[in-house]
Amino acid sequence: GAVVSQHPSRVICKSGTSVKIECRSLDFQATTMFWYRQFPKKSLMLMATSNEGSKATYEQGVEKDKFLINHASLTLSTLTVTSAHPEDSSFYICSAREVGRNTEAFFGQGTRLTVV
């Protein structure tokens, strides 16, 4: 099946620094990628929809300036957590769907972010 690679899988950063998470579709093109956040023992909360070549669409309550999303190509989307704080510590997962097909979304392995 299709593969979505997310990097890094784990990151620890100091409060106030920025962290970039990459999401790549390895064997297909994705015009749309999705970023989710998952708190411990909770469901996946959709943060934003990343559209190639245009601005991301953020869900209500998600700070655009805090969580910067860039979708520069059909195989890469990045999420940058700016000026990270301990409350940003969470599990972030991206997913991607193939261009032109309403199929299952393939998910990356997730990134566990810890802000100290």
Partner 1 sequence: AQKVTQAQTEISVVEKEDVTLDCVYETRDTTYYLFWYKQPPSGELVFLIRRNSFDEQNEISGRYSWNFQKSTSSFNFTITASQVVDSAVYFCALSALENRDDKIIFGKGTRLHILP
Q: Which residues contact partner 1 (rule: CB under 8 A)?
A: 1, 32, 34, 36, 41-44, 46, 49, 51, 57, 91, 93, 95, 97, 102-110, 112
Composition of the chain by helix, strand, coil, percent to 5 = 5, 50, 45
Smallest distance from partner 1 to CB 89, Å: 14
**14 vs 60, beta carbon nearer partner 1:** 60
| Six token digits for residue 71 | 């979708």
**15 vs 103, beta carbon nearer partner 1:** 103
Distance, CA of 113 to CA of 12 (rounded, Å): 6
Smallest distance from partner 1 to CB 42, Å: 7
**14 vs 41, beta carbon nearer partner 1:** 41
Looking at residue 26, its amino acid is L
* Among 75, 43, 36, CA closest to 59: 36
3-state secondary structure of 21: strand
**15 vs 55, beta carbon nearer partner 1:** 55
Smallest distance from partner 1 to CB 105, Å: 5
